[in-house]
Amino acid sequence: MKQYINRNKAGFSLSPAFTEKLVSSLLAGLVSGLVALISCVSFAALIFNGQLADSVFVGINASVSTAVVAGSFITMLSVCRPVLALPDDDTVPILALMVTLVVASLPADLPASDLAATALASIALVALLTGLALTAIGLLRLGGLVRYLPHSVMGGYFAGAGLLMTLGGFKVATDLSLESVVEVSLLLEYESLMRWVPACVAALVFDQALRRFSGAIVMPAIFIALCLSFFAAAYGVGYTPSMLMAEGVLLGPFPEGEAKVINPVLFTSASDIHWNALFMHPGSFLTIIMLSAVSLMLTVSGLSLLQQRGVDINRELRVSGWANTLSGLTGGLTALPSMALSKLAMDVGAPPSRWVGIVAAALCAATLYGGLDVLAWLPKPVLAGLLIYLGWTFLQQWLLESRSQMPSLEYGVIWIIVGVVVLVGFLEGVVVGLLCAVVLFVVNYSRINVVRYSLTGAQLSSNVDRNQAEAAFLGEHGEQILVAKLQGYLFFGTSADLVARLDKWRQARERKPLRFLLFDFNEVNDMDASAANSFTRIAQEAAKTGFVLVMTGLSDSMMGQLRSSGFDYESMDCVEVMQDLDRGLEWCEEQVLSGQVVEQQEASLLNQFYDALGSWENVEILLSYFEQRRAVAGDILAREGEPSDELFLLETCSASVYLGTDLETMHRIRRASSGTVFGEVGFYLGTPRTASVIVDDGGELYVFTREEGERLNRDHPHIASQFHSFMLRLVTRRLQLTTSTLRVVLA
């Protein structure tokens, strides 16, 4: 506070910055509080209509006190600033429907006081349960789960809520329940027309004015102007305000009663509450709880973006949970932060301060204790028009504008939800929507190709550097191997496709029978029992027709799922399980090579040097610059990070290249067989070793050092040039193989 206080000879004074912040907060709070007050009265009129119309004072008291109690609590503890909270407009239509069902299940001759007490108790109980549920979700840090609700289901929910709010506007205007065809037909009678037509006109005025004009005071100004216009029009045809009150066109008269911010109806009126009626509609309770969590998540995400502030959704769930628990205990409604009201305050110029929400709550409290008599003179058609406008905005956004924003099938889910909401109920509509969304997901996900690519052994080779003879043999006979790299989640919708693909693969290779079918699971998330059964069928087909099923990259959970489904691969001769794709492909290549005779004489380094240098005399000269060594399995020829001063040419031994220096955590990236060369890239570029080399099978090898290379360049430049050309062709051949593989994979 020190920065806001100036000290001078006259004493203490507030700094200009603090004064500006205080004035802005007061202005924004008053404007937002007025809009919140109008919304609370409209929501109360929506909930307390029909049989409860005479008890609308109770509803107004509960709705306004919610803005005071829960609104102050959320304002004080939320990270968002400014933030204003009031009864949640997303769930109010469902709350009104629930109250209607509760009242309909009560005896017809029940006193009005018991009706009001039971209705208010149902509202408070929902707020209490919602608060406990939101708190639990926040404490368990499950706020992220709400994000998995399909967009089409949310759209159907909001459209259904908009439809209920629109119908609620007609109910408020006409005092008809609209629960039967007969009552709907009464809308065409003259008396009803004179009530709902002005409400529709008011809704149209709200819609057009709020589209054309921007500003914080537009909405309350329109509301006041419509109220004055209504009274002027009524006076023009001979109706005084008192006559309108007597006709039931106005919100009042209110019965004699004391306004209360805290009204613990669940305790003070326990004897008047028909508890059995409250628990006859658990579906409505669950719907409000679930949709409150969704609504809160959307609002908090919007406020975070609007205010450019990082927000922890789980913390906001806990804050709103505590606020709703308190609201339920004090006889209030379900309350959540309002995106529209908070943005309205920011448009007025509200600073990031809690004072905005406190001022708005104070205005609602002052009205509750000193201005409720004024609210009795509010015209129902104007309040109904506001409800119709709010409902229409939902319908317009989700039934009209969303048509071009989502696929046709998802858009159809919205209409299905709305239809079920109208014909059956709100919870049933949401459940049907979820089922439709699940079916769409299964159908769409089944269309995703779970086979990322399928290549033959001639197109894709292991990371084993082979001599020219072996490479040529594998290039000719590599089609005996088929590699299928799988991806995503394997389930009943995609696993059947693998079995069908197997038949196509085998039919396409009738002339060259398939010997090895390799499935790589490295990019597979998991599989269900149906997918595991599909691999059992493939293994049975392998045993029947004589090919080997090779499975690589299986996680522990996938191996467990295979065992649980009866896939005992350890006892199957036709199934091999390998650590990764490279080792699996290497094993297949070794099997292909072992079944044929490869001329090792052609594969030796000496013959390769002879082909490159043109004479044995030149080969002998070249070898005089090499050091011949004998290596045993486990010898470390090179370490990662060391200078690349040596080039290794394997004559009869083989070695593997690993990333890392720790023997326990090394990762193999390449293997070099006899008759091959490695270390050439670092040798020619002069860069440090990027990997370690360890001997697999002992044997003879040649080592060519940098010093000997320089001496060869000086003594025999022609032979040196031919040797370097040989190395260039070797590197180019590897690059060509890699490029062709990538071209096939990316095609």
Question: What's the pLDDT score for residue 190?
Answer: 87
Domain-located, residue 424 = no
With cut-offs at 50, 70 and 90, classify the pLDDT of residue 571. Answer: confident
Within this chain, do residues 583 and 457 fall inside the same structural domain, yes or no? Answer: yes
Residue 747 has pLDDT above 70, yes or no: no
Alpha carbons 350 and 479: distance in angstroms, whole number: 72
Domain shared by 485 and 613, yes or no: no
In a domain, 548, yes or no: yes
Task: Let me know whether 581 and 666 are in one domain.
Answer: no
How far apart are alpha carbons 720 and 684 in whole angstroms? Answer: 13
- Percent of the residues in the chain that have a pLDDT greater than 90, as a whole number: 25
Interval 102-116 mean pLDDT: 88
* Assigned domain for 112 exists: yes
Number of helices and strands in the chain (H, E)? 30, 18
* 407 occurs within a structural domain: no
Band of residue 3 on the pLDDT scale cut at 50, 70, 90: very low
3-state secondary structure of 555: coil
* End-of-domain residue from the set 530, 562, 594: 594
The answer to the question of residue 526 being in a domain is: yes
Give residue 147's pLDDT: 67
Residue 343, domain extent = 18-252+284-402
The whole-number pLDDT of residue 678 equals: 79
Please tell me the distance from the alpha carbon of residue 678 to that of residue 744, in angstroms, as a whole number: 26
What are the E-state strand segments in 619-711?
A: 627-631, 636-638, 646-650, 654-659, 667-672, 677-678, 692-697, 699-705
What was the pLDDT predicted at 300? Answer: 85
pLDDT digits (tens, 9 = 90+) for 133-189: 999 999 999 887 766 778 888 888 788 888 888 988 898 888 887 777 888 888 888
The predicted pLDDT at position 5 comes to: 47
Question: 68-72, 223-227, 672-676: which range is least confident on average?
Answer: 672-676
What local confidence, expressed as pLDDT, does residue 690 receive? 84
d(CA 95, CA 298): 19
Kindly state the average pLDDT of the residues 183-198: 88
CB 47 within 8 A of CB 236: no
Nearest to 360 by CA among 131, 92, 127, 74: 74
d(C-alpha 691, C-alpha 146), whole Å: 46
Under the banding of pLDDT at 50, 70 and 90, the label for residue 744 is low
Asked if 568 and 628 sit in the same domain, the reply is: no
Residue 135 has a pLDDT of 96
- Compute the distance between CA of residue 607 and CA of residue 596 in angstroms, rounded to an integer: 21
Assess whether 22 and 96 both reside in one domain.
yes
Tokens of 179: 């629960």
Report the percent of the chain where pLDDT is more than 70.
93
CB 320 within 8 A of CB 109: no
- What's the domain count of the chain? 3
Instruction: Assign 341 a pLDDT band (cuts: 50, 70, 90).
Output: confident
Could you read off the pLDDT of 439-474 as tens digits, one per residue? 888 888 777 788 888 888 888 888 787 777 788 888
Express each pLDDT in 266-294 by its tens digit.
988 888 899 998 888 888 888 889 889 88
Last residue of a domain, one of 559, 594, 629: 594
| Together in a domain, 646 and 577 | no
Write down which residue in 545, 573, 594 finishes a domain: 594
Task: Give the per-residue pLDDT at 287.
Answer: 85
Task: Taking residues 507-523, report their average pLDDT.
Answer: 82
Between CA 554 and CA 566 the distance in angstroms is 16
Across residues 218-245, what is the average pLDDT? 90
Mind listing the pLDDT tens digit for each residue in 681-712? 888 888 888 888 889 889 999 999 999 989 99
Same domain for 453 and 392? no
Give the CATH number of the domain where residue 658 resides.
2.60.120.10
Same domain, residue pair 380 and 457: no
Burial 706-731, CB ≥16 within 10 A → b, else e: eebbeebeeebeebbebbeebbeebe
Q: Is the pLDDT of residue 399 over 70?
A: yes
Q: How far apart are CA 625 and CA 709, in angstroms?
A: 8
Residue 208, pLDDT > 70, answer yes
> What is the residue type of 132?
L
Q: Looking at the structure, tell me whether residues 608 and 590 fall in a common domain.
A: no
Q: Is the pLDDT of residue 257 over 60?
A: yes
Closest CA to 265 of 166, 317, 333, 182: 333
> What's the pLDDT at 2?
46
Cα-Cα-Cα-Cα torsion 610, 614, 616, 622, nearest 10 degrees, comes to: -80
Residue 369 confidence (pLDDT) above 90: no
Tell me, yes or no, whether 742 lies in a domain.
Answer: yes
Q: Does the pLDDT at position 322 exceed 80?
A: yes
Q: Are residues 493 and 397 in the same domain?
A: no
In a domain, 411, yes or no: no
- 201, exposed or middle or buried, with CB in 10 Å at 0-12, 13-18, 19+? middle
If asked whether residues 148 and 72 sit together in one domain, one would say: yes
Does the model's pTM come out above 0.75? no
Least confident of 100-109, 127-136, 542-551, 674-683: 674-683
For residue 16, is pLDDT > 70?
Answer: no
Mean pLDDT of 488-513: 76
Looking at the fold, whether 585 and 612 belong to one and the same domain comes out as no
The rounded distance, in Å, linking the Cα atoms of 602 and 62 is 94
CATH number, position 529: 3.30.750.24
Residue 415 forms part of a structural domain: no
